[in-house]
């Protein structure tokens, strides 16, 4: 018998173990699980389908159609694309936009704050309420000033720019620290300005937070109860429904906290809209 | 309030469950008879299950297994296009395939690709599924060897790698996977072999719903410290994590095996008190992280955007909510599991810093399967060394002396992660190739890079996904980070075990440093915090701290 | 400066163990000045690299010097100066520790000079050779007034020897051939008579040589724990080096993205200023313990030597701290060497007075300590003061009769072993009372030795001799128990006697009727159970056990074989000193551990000083971390560097003295040291850096 070196022997053993694991863990286990799952929990295993209308777990884009409740904004592809699930991945201090060049030579990039402000404005307009939020300008961008100071980070303000408001927009404040606020010129380098978000005077926010933010995967099937209630008058109006009936429908499609304390309550938008269409 | 109640209930359940599982694992993994099936399996693989291996041979087997694992995955990923069940996805480019292969073999499972658009069912089941379980088992093997090094009273043998591997897979992971898989499927996780299906949406658009064996993958991803998503969104995807209840279960699954392993350690060393003490240390660290994370994630401290929104809702799923996301994030990063149910990139800056800190601690609270235990033991050994000197004795742990030869491996172990993480981060931040991948500007961009290498080197796999890792630079540097960050420490752990096992334990007396009680817990916890975090503080200051204290 | 009275050897008062402290010599401020030249000499990189932490510091100092020359600034020069001071302070600590041993070494060395020996040559004639040419096995003759040329055993003659040169004890000792008092040490002086000595040492390896090497400390080998600790320090240094170096690209990036931030002395577009980066590094690496580590080791050996204990290696000193089991010979260690009369127990109706008188008379000629103790007790009982003036025929003790006594007219008094006396009485036709057996049994059980007293046909009674346990020992042993050390008494007595004495002395266990083989077996058994064993011994038959024990302390009065076998020699030949040796060993480790902990925990405060100073100018938010409210970035960095240097000097006395040690359990020790040095290490620098900052802010160009 030929004695193979130890390291060769171990690699041969490794190869065989990997093969065995591939057959058992890699094929036998998932296929068996599929069999069991299909037999015991057929509905769930097949993706909790709602007939031909998709899955009750996967949110859908209702394309702004006014007779439907709208889902949250989504970062999955062009919105609710299961083939490209994603979050926005912008950080908590993403407040300064890259403004697009007016001639189209350079694409802009909205900061998270401006995205939030823009969505808030849009939802507010859609639902007929104020879309104002803290740190947002009236025209739906982040209320952020770039303050140039005499000594860099300190000293008197020498120049103030409203960073997210491209000229010729009127800055959301006229004067800051005694200096006239300018609108921002796309392409100009404001790196030397100190970024100062301005909270503003807004105290009552009408548009709920989930209406202005994307979810973790971009397929969130739920909206908050508050967002549903905000949309209810519009949907009722569009469909000519009794607000109280609609309210009941919302309640019926609201998932409470699991076991009473896990997670958060949410309204399943697809199921609610299916119910509205009488397809549930 | 609900958030704390949720955390307490999950952790209480964990506390209850870890005892029987830990006891079972001690019995199932160490000693006892081989089952008939196992004997057959060993015969097929040409392995003698009753042959004890010294540390060198044990390491050789471990490295051989991992090498073959990387090669097999690499082959699978690059040739996916011509294999069945590919769902039409082609093979990966070589650098991505290499990164992905190393990523899953090293139990990191950082993905520089989106699952739904890159891997078919075969790659997930026979590729990720196998290496997910196997890599978790490899961590358990190293920890078992170290435990034996501490528990045995002489000789050279640390056990047999192949036996430890096979038992970890078939006696621990697979049975648990079946139980948790069925439970998750019952809650709504899908389990089929369908491909993509286009449906007409209610509003008149179309949507492509992607099927797949998610239910069998999910417990593996969570339990083994793996964490890679079937889908890009991982546990934020409703098919992976459909309800608040499944979210709670997923958190439990992530923490369960590593926590139970602490109990297993107590059983195997015949010192359950020490097991409890280690659990308390891990528990305190976890509680600190969770508290810090929760405070950072609150609406009032969460930064400009959170205040504009009225809560840390960006990147958070409605059904899970902010507390469920924070708890999940802390549990994932503290347990070496790369899963995510929300966008860590959009966490409050300091909240993201907490996740970083959880990984920088060395993922010891409770850490990955096995790797958490040996990581914790390494920190404890440094604490024991200082504590031992402070009570006027040559330091000893479980009766084994921690002298020069032993300290050598402890020290080398603790050098690897900081050196790799900081070195690679500095390299990336200095090079245009590194900077151009940032998804955010300023300090947050630096945080993304720091997070990426921390996650890769420590084998976590969670991501601040704004960073585009799928470039040649990142694929290769991350691959290097993962390989060095995983196998060098394991080599040191095994070498240490090899030294320890030869020692006859020293008797314990009133003059021996007691490895229990308030003092020891303070020493070990303080040691972990100070030794593990001090060297990262400057980098953290320029990343999440600068970002979070901007106002 | 804390100063403690040095404890003279032998002055340990066993009565009050709670007040006992391990103390070292005085630390005179003048020593700082005297050690300064040596400290500067040690700046030589070839010396420095042995201490990696301080070597890195020195490289840092060189770097900042270069930077300060290139772009001079007050701040740069101040930092540079304090970095050099840091290195010098570290060298100073070592130099002071060494200089304290140096004086002792010089005295010792003087004794070695110009000795000539008379060696027995090839042709059996005496020839004169220099002492340093003697080899092992040579035979030399030494006469009164001469210095013994080397370590050896007396093979012929008896002499009184003055060993004060090495023991400091002025009373001469007797050395004679054969038995356990045959070893002589080189450098000691013969006072009377002439002895012939066989040399047992190779040239340059005498006790004197070893002692000099030990107290000098220069060629000191690092002990195992010290090596392990050094490893940890090197690792920490490496990690912080990585931290500092990798910080630079991150700082450059940060400065770039915060373009509004103006350049400062600390940071510009090209990154953190080199001087600041070096300052950060030096503050983070464990300079405090790195600077003091070797001084602690030298001082520990010094403390041993001060107690007249000569350890063959530092390893042995450390092992002493780890001891689990302490083997103690009963005689001479636990009890006074001799038994003493404790009581007279009359039998058969004899009056107590009569028995005492008979015992007195029978012992008048007995010059043994036992005999003297019988006399003393009898005189006390009878109130008389009989002396040798009483006539009579003295019957001396002989191994055959096993009794002694006096024939005094009609009386024939004998005292001796009960069996022998009983037989003698029966031989004279007398009878032995039945009660005798019971009394003898009772005495033996209580750990005493019975001696019968008889007058021809009549057994008068029994003298109870008893071992007397040295006062204070039970308290001492209780202390050992708290430290986790098990004490085992070794005795040749029978188990019953041994048990009684063991109980009285408070030892944990005893080995009765012990032969040298039993002793060796006991040590091996203990070691197999994972316990470290310490023992003292002096006889040649102790040598195997001494060699087997982890800590074997040989008595200086013992044989060369014993001294060779052990790893320590107690020059005072005080068997109880092993307790102190254990304490010194522990204190040595505790000092290292405590100062390391202190050094590491210091880093927290230093971060809070330096991080906001470096980066507050880029990210104003990070200035919030300046919780000490330090005056300016430059004053903050300078204060941290100054603290880092001054703390070394402040801790030199502690390093030399060792941290406070009181024998107690590990938990108590950990509690104390963890809170004092761990928590203290966190808090102290906050206060100290703030205080320094309050001063340095007045330096022009530093404060804001």
3-state secondary structure of C231: helix
CB contact under 8 A, B187 and A209: no
Look at chain B and report how many structural domains it folds into. Answer: 1
Q: How many CB pairs under 8 A join B and C?
A: 226
Looking at CA atoms only, how far is residue C266 from chain A in angstroms?
Answer: 15
Q: Which candidate from A18, A47, A261 shows the least CB-CB separation from B72? A: A18
- B339 falls in which pLDDT band (50, 70, 90)? very high
Looking at CA atoms only, how far is residue C258 from chain A in angstroms?
Answer: 7
Contacts of A17 in chain B (CB under 8 A): 45, 47, 65, 68, 162, 165-166
In contact, A248 and A228? CB cutoff 8 Å: no
In contact, C317 and C214? CB cutoff 8 Å: no
Which residues 111-170 of C are in CB contact (within 8 Å) with B?
Answer: none
The pLDDT tens digits for B77-126 are 999 999 988 888 989 999 999 999 999 999 999 999 998 889 999 999 99
Q: Which candidate from B427, B505, B546 shows the least CB-CB separation from C619? A: B546
| pLDDT recorded at residue C6 | 36
The pLDDT tens digits for B154-189 are 899 999 999 999 999 999 999 999 999 999 999 999
| pLDDT recorded at residue A198 | 94
Residue C354 is labelled as binding a ligand: no
Which residue from A minimizes the CA distance to C621? A153
| pLDDT recorded at residue C10 | 35
Alpha-carbon gap, residue A222 to A270, rounded angstroms: 8
> Picking from C351-360, C581-590, C664-673, which range would have the lowest pLDDT averaged per residue?
C351-360
Residue C415 is labelled as binding a ligand: yes
Q: Which candidate from B426, B512, B531 shows the least CB-CB separation from C666? A: B512
In contact, B468 and B445? CB cutoff 8 Å: no
> Picking from B16-20, B170-174, B344-348, C663-667, which range would have the lowest pLDDT averaged per residue?
C663-667
Q: Where exactly are the structural domains of chain A?
A: 6-45, 47-88+214-280, 89-207
Domain of B416, in residue numbers: 2-550
Looking at CA atoms only, how far is residue B374 from chain A in angstroms?
Answer: 24
The pLDDT tens digits for A94-145 are 999 999 988 888 888 999 999 999 999 999 999 999 999 999 999 999 999 9
Does residue C205 register a pLDDT over 90? no
Neighbours of A144 (CB within 10 A): 27
B229-242: buried (b, 16+ CB within 10 Å) or exposed (e) per residue? Answer: bbbbbbbbbbbbbb
Contacts of C257 in chain A (CB under 8 A): 191
Nearest Cα to Cα of residue B479 among B453, B449, B460, B448: B453
Looking at CA atoms only, how far is residue B266 from chain C in angstroms?
Answer: 21
Q: Which candidate from B392, B445, B551 shows the least CB-CB separation from C590? A: B392
> What would the mean pLDDT of B193-203 be, rounded to a whole number?
91
In contact, B377 and B262? CB cutoff 8 Å: no
Contacts of A220 in chain B (CB under 8 A): 238, 317-319
Q: In what order do the strands lie in the sheet with C126-130?
A: C126-130, C116-120, C139-142, C195-199, C152-156, C183-184
Contacts of B239 in chain A (CB under 8 A): 47, 55, 57-58
- C541 falls in which pLDDT band (50, 70, 90)? confident
Quote the mean pLDDT of chain A.
93
Alpha-carbon gap, residue A159 to A177, rounded angstroms: 10
Does residue B407 register a pLDDT over 80? yes
| pLDDT recorded at residue C388 | 55
CB contact under 8 A, C247 and B539: yes
Contacts of B423 in chain C (CB under 8 A): 242, 246
Nearest Cα to Cα of residue B207 among C31, C552, A54, C509: A54
Looking at CA atoms only, how far is residue B421 from chain C in angstroms?
Answer: 10
| Disruptive mutation site among C52, C223, C227, C231 for chain B (greatest number of B CBs within 10 Å) | C231
Residues 6+ positions from C672 with CB-CB distance below 8 Å = none
Judge whether C13 counts as a catalytic residue.
Answer: no
Q: How far is CA B167 from the centre of its chain?
A: 20
CB contact under 8 A, B534 and C532: no
The burial of A187, by beta-carbon neighbours within 10 Å (0-12 exposed, 13-18 middle, 19 or more buried), is given as: middle
Residue C538 is labelled as binding a ligand: yes
Indicate the pTM of the whole model. Answer: 0.90
Contacts of A90 in chain B (CB under 8 A): 305, 314, 345-346, 439-440, 466
Contacts of C261 in chain A (CB under 8 A): 152-153
Which residues 568-587 of C are in CB contact (within 8 Å) with B?
Answer: 585-587
> What would the mean pLDDT of B33-49 be, rounded to a whole number?
94
Chains in contact with C via at least 3 Cβ–Cβ pairs below 8 Å: A, B
| pLDDT recorded at residue C413 | 87
In contact, C602 and C647? CB cutoff 8 Å: yes
| pLDDT recorded at residue C187 | 76
- C153 falls in which pLDDT band (50, 70, 90)? confident
| pLDDT recorded at residue C362 | 84
- Alpha helix (H) residue ranges in B119-243: 121-122, 130-151, 161-167, 174-187, 214-223
> What would the mean pLDDT of C338-367 be, rounded to a whole number?
83
The pLDDT tens digits for B120-148 are 999 999 999 999 999 999 999 999 999 99
Residue C397 is labelled as binding a ligand: yes
The burial of A98, by beta-carbon neighbours within 10 Å (0-12 exposed, 13-18 middle, 19 or more buried), is given as: middle
| pLDDT recorded at residue C8 | 35
Residue, of C398 and B20, whose pLDDT is higher: B20
Q: How many CB pairs under 8 A join A and B?
A: 400
| pLDDT recorded at residue A265 | 95
3-state secondary structure of B431: coil
Residue C404 is labelled as binding a ligand: yes
What is the distance between the terminal CA atoms of chain B, rounded to a whole angstrom?
Answer: 27
Q: Is A150 on the interface with B (CB under 8 A)?
A: no
Structure tokens at B286: 């976890």
3-state secondary structure of A178: coil
Which residue from C minimizes the CA distance to B550? C621
> What would the mean pLDDT of B240-245 be, rounded to a whole number?
96
> What would the mean pLDDT of C402-429 be, rounded to a whole number?
85
What sign for the dihedral angle of Cα C114, C117, C122, C125?
positive
Q: Which candidate from A41, A60, A259 shows the least CB-CB separation from B201? A: A60
> Picking from A125-134, B32-41, C461-470, C551-560, which range would have the lowest pLDDT averaged per residue?
C551-560
Does residue C149 register a pLDDT over 90? no
| Disruptive mutation site among C53, C225, C677 for chain B (greatest number of B CBs within 10 Å) | C225
| pLDDT recorded at residue C568 | 87
Q: Is C486 on the interface with B (CB under 8 A)?
A: yes
| pLDDT recorded at residue C14 | 38
Q: What is the DSSP string of B526-546?
A: HHHHHHHHGGGHHHHIIIIIH
The pLDDT tens digits for C25-74 are 456 777 888 889 989 999 999 989 989 999 999 999 999 999 999 999 99
Contacts of A15 in chain B (CB under 8 A): 68
Q: Which candidate from B5, B114, B247 shows the least CB-CB separation from A261? A: B5
CB contact under 8 A, C621 and B548: yes
- B303 falls in which pLDDT band (50, 70, 90)? confident
Structure tokens at C564: 């060779």
| Disruptive mutation site among B298, B304, B465 for chain A (greatest number of A CBs within 10 Å) | B304
In contact, C286 and C236? CB cutoff 8 Å: yes
In contact, B221 and A83? CB cutoff 8 Å: no
Does residue B63 register a pLDDT over 70? yes
The pLDDT tens digits for C3-33 are 333 333 333 333 333 333 444 445 677 788 8
Which residue from C minimizes the CA distance to A154? C261
CB contact under 8 A, C260 and A151: no
3-state secondary structure of A44: helix
Neighbours of B155 (CB within 10 A): 11
CB contact under 8 A, C259 and A192: yes
Does residue C560 register a pLDDT over 80? no
- C299 falls in which pLDDT band (50, 70, 90)? confident
Residue, of C241 and A104, whose pLDDT is higher: C241
CB contact under 8 A, C593 and B390: yes
Structure tokens at C524: 């091996």
Catalytic pick from C138, C151, C302, C329? C329
The pLDDT tens digits for A61-103 are 999 999 999 999 999 999 999 999 999 999 989 999 999 988 8
| pLDDT recorded at residue B122 | 92
| pLDDT recorded at residue C488 | 92
Q: Which candidate from B407, B419, B545 shows the least CB-CB separation from C231? A: B407
Q: Which candidate from B419, B507, B545 shows the least CB-CB separation from C324? A: B507
Quote the mean pLDDT of chain C.
84
Q: Is C529 on the interface with B (CB under 8 A)?
A: yes
Does residue C645 register a pLDDT over 50? yes
| pLDDT recorded at residue B102 | 96
Residue C401 is labelled as binding a ligand: yes
Q: Is A97 on the interface with B (CB under 8 A)?
A: no
Does residue A206 register a pLDDT over 80? yes
| pLDDT recorded at residue C438 | 87
Residue C542 is labelled as binding a ligand: yes
CB contact under 8 A, B312 and A223: no
Chains in contact with B via at least 3 Cβ–Cβ pairs below 8 Å: A, C
Looking at CA atoms only, how far is residue B149 from chain C in angstroms?
Answer: 16
């Amino acid at each position: 018998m030929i004695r193979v070196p130890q390291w060769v022997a171990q690699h041969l053993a490794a190869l065989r173990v990997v093969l065995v694991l591939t057959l058992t863990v890699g094929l036998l286990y998932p296929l068996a699980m599929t069999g069991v799952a299909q037999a015991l929990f057929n509905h769930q295993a097949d993706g909790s389908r709602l007939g031909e209308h998709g899955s009750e777990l996967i949110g859908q884009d209702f394309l702004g159609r006014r007779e439907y409740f709208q889902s949250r904004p989504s970062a999955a592809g062009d919105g609710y694309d299961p083939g490209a699930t994603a979050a926005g991945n912008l950080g908590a201090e993403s407040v300064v936009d890259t403004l697009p060049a007016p001639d189209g030579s350079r694409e802009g990039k909205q900061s998270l704050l401006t995205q939030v402000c823009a969505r808030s404005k849009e939802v507010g307009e859609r639902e007929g309420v104020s879309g104002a939020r803290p740190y947002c300008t009236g025209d739906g961008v982040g209320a952020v000033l770039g303050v140039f100071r005499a000594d860099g980070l300190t000293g008197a303000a020498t120049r103030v720019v409203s960073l997210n408001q491209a000229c010729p927009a009127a800055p959301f404040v006229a004067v800051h620290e005694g200096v006239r606020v300018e609108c921002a010129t796309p392409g100009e380098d404001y790196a030397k300005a100190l970024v100062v978000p301005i909270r503003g005077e807004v105290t009552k926010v009408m548009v709920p937070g989930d209406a202005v933010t994307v979810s973790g995967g971009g397929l969130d099937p739920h909206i908050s109860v508050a967002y549903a209630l905000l949309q209810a008058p519009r949907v009722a109006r569009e469909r000519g429904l009794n607000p109280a009936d609609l309210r009941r429908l919302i309640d019926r499609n609201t998932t409470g906290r699991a076991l009473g304390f896990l997670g958060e309550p949410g309204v399943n938008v697809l199921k609610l809209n299916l119910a509205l269409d009488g397809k549930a | 309030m609900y958030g704390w109640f949720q955390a307490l209930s999950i952790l209480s359940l964990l506390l209850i469950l870890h005892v029987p599982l830990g006891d079972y694992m001690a019995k199932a993994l160490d000693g006892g008879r081989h089952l008939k099936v196992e004997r057959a399996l060993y015969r097929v693989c040409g392995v003698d299950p009753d042959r004890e291996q010294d540390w060198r041979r044990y390491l050789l087997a471990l490295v051989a297994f991992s090498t073959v694992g990387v090669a097999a995955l690499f082959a699978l990923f690059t040739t996916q296009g011509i294999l069945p069940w590919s769902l039409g996805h082609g093979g990966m480019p070589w650098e991505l395939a290499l990164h992905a292969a190393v990523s899953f073999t090293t139990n990191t499972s950082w993905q520089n690709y989106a699952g739904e658009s890159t891997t078919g069912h075969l790659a997930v089941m026979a590729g990720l599924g196998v290496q997910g379980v196997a890599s978790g088992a490899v961590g358990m093997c190293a920890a078992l060897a170290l435990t034996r090094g501490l528990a045995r009273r002489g000789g050279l043998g640390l056990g047999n790698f192949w036996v430890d591997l096979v038992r970890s897979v078939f006696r621990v992971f697979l049975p648990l996977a079946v139980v948790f898989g069925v439970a998750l499927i019952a809650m709504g996780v899908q389990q089929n072999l369908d491909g993509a299906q286009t449906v007409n949406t209610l509003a008149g658009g179309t949507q492509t719903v992607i099927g797949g064996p998610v239910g069998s993958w999910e417990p593996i991803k969570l339990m083994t410290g793996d964490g890679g998503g079937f889908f890009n969104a991982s546990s934020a995807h409703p098919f992976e994590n459909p309800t608040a209840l499944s979210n709670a279960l997923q958190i439990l699954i992530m923490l369960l095996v590593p926590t139970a392993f602490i109990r297993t350690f107590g059983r195997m060393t015949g010192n359950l008190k020490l097991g409890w003490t280690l659990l308390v240390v891990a528990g305190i660290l976890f509680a600190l992280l969770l508290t810090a994370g929760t405070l950072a994630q609150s609406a009032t401290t969460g930064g400009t955007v959170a205040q504009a929104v009225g809560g840390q809702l960006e990147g958070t799923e409605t059904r899970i909510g902010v507390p469920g996301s924070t708890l999940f994030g802390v549990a994932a990063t503290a347990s070496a599991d790369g899963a995510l149910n929300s966008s860590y990139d959009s966490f409050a800056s300091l909240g993201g810093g907490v996740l970083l800190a959880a990984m920088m601690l060395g993922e010891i609270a409770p850490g990955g399967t096995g790797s958490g235990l040996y990581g914790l033991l390494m920190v404890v050994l440094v604490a024991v060394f200082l504590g031992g000197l402070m009570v006027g004795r040559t330091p000893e742990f479980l009766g084994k002396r921690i002298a020069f030869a032993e300290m050598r491996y402890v020290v080398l172990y603790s050098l690897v992660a900081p050196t790799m993480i900081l070195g690679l981060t500095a390299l990336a931040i200095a090079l245009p190739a590194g900077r151009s991948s940032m998804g955010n500007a300023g300090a947050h961009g630096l945080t993304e890079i720091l997070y990426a290498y921390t996650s890769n080197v420590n084998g976590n796999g969670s991501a601040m996904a704004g960073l585009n890792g799928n470039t040649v630079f990142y694929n290769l540097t991350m691959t290097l980070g993962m390989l060095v960050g995983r196998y060098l420490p394991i080599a040191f752990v095994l070498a240490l075990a090899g030294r320890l096992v030869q020692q006859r334990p020293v008797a314990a007396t009133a003059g021996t440093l007691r490895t229990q009680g308030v003092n020891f817990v303070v020493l070990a916890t303080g040691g972990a915090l100070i030794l593990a975090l001090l060297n990262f503080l400057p980098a953290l200051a320029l990343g999440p701290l600068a970002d979070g204290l901007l106002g | 400066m804390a100063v403690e009275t040095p404890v003279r050897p032998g002055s340990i008062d066993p009565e009050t163990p709670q007040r006992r402290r391990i103390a070292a010599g005085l630390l005179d401020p003048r020593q700082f000045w005297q050690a300064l030249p040596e400290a500067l000499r040690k700046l030589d990189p070839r010396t420095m690299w042995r201490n990696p932490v301080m070597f890195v510091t020195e490289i840092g100092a060189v770097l900042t010097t270069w930077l300060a020359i290139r772009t001079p600034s007050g701040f740069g020069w101040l930092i540079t100066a304090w970095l050099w001071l840091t290195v010098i302070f570290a060298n100073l600590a070592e130099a002071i520790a060494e200089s304290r041993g140096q004086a002792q070494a010089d005295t010792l060395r003087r004794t070695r000079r110009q000795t000539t020996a008379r060696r027995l040559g090839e042709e059996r004639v005496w020839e004169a050779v220099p002492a340093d040419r003697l080899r092992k096995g040579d035979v030399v003759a030494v006469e009164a007034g001469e210095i013994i040329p080397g370590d050896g055993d007396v093979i012929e003659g008896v002499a009184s020897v003055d060993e004060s040169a090495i023991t400091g004890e002025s009373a001469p000792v007797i050395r004679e051939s054969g038995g356990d008092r045959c070893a002589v040490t080189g450098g000691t002086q013969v006072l009377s008579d002439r002895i012939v000595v066989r040399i047992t040492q190779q040239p340059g390896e005498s006790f004197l040589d070893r002692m000099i090497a030990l107290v000098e400390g220069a060629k000191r080998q690092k002990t195992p724990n010290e090596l392990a600790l050094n490893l940890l320090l090197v690792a920490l240094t490496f990690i912080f080096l990585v931290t500092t170096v990798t910080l630079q690209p991150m700082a450059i990036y940060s400065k770039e993205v915060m373009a509004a931030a103006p350049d400062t002395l600390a940071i510009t577009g090209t990154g953190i200023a080199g001087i600041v980066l070096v300052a950060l590094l030096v503050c983070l690496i464990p300079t405090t313990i790195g600077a003091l580590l070797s001084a602690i080791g030298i001082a520990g050996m010094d403390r041993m030597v001060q107690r007249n204990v000569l350890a063959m290696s530092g390893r042995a000193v450390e092992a002493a701290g780890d001891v689990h089991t302490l083997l103690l010979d009963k005689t001479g260690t636990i009890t006074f060497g001799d038994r003493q009369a404790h009581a007279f127990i009359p039998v058969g109706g004899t009056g107590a007075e009569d028995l005492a008188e008979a015992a007195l008379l029978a012992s008048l000629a007995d010059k043994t300590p036992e005999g003297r103790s019988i006399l003393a007790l009898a005189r006390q009982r009878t109130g008389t003061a009989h002396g040798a003036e009483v006539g009579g025929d003295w019957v001396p003790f002989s191994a055959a009769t096993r009794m002694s006594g006096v024939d005094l007219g009609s009386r024939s008094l004998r005292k001796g072993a009960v069996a022998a006396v009983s037989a003698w009485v029966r031989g004279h036709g007398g009878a032995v009372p039945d009660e005798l057996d019971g009394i003898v049994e009772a005495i033996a059980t209580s750990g005493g030795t019975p001696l019968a007293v008889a007058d021809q046909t009549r057994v008068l009674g029994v003298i109870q001799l008893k071992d007397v346990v040295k006062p204070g020992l039970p308290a001492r042993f209780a202390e050992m128990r708290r430290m986790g050390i098990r004490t085992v008494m070794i005795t040749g007595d029978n188990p019953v006697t041994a048990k009684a004495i063991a109980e009285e002395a408070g030892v944990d266990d005893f080995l009765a009727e012990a032969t040298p083989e039993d002793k060796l077996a006991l040590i091996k058994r203990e070691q197999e159970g994972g316990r470290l064993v310490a023992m003292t011994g002096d006889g040649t038959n102790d040598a195997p056990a001494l060699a087997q024990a982890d800590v074997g302390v040989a008595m200086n009065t013992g044989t060369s074989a014993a001294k060779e076998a052990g790893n320590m020699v107690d020059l005072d030949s005080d068997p109880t000193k092993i307790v102190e040796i254990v304490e010194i060993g522990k204190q040595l480790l505790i000092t290292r551990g405590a100062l390391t902990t202190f050094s590491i925990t210091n880093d927290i405060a230093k971060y809070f000083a330096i991080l906001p100073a470096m980066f507050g100018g880029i990210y104003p938010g990070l200035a919030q971390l300046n919780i000490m409210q330090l005056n300016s970035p430059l004053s903050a960095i300078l204060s941290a560097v100054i603290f880092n240097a001054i703390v070394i000097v402040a801790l030199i006395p502690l390093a030399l003295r060792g941290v406070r040690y009181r024998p107690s359990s590990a938990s108590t020790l950990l509690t104390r040291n963890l809170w004092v040095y761990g928590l203290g290490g966190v808090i102290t620098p906050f206060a100290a850096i703030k205080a320094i900052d309050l001063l340095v802010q007045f330096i022009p160009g530093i404060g804001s």
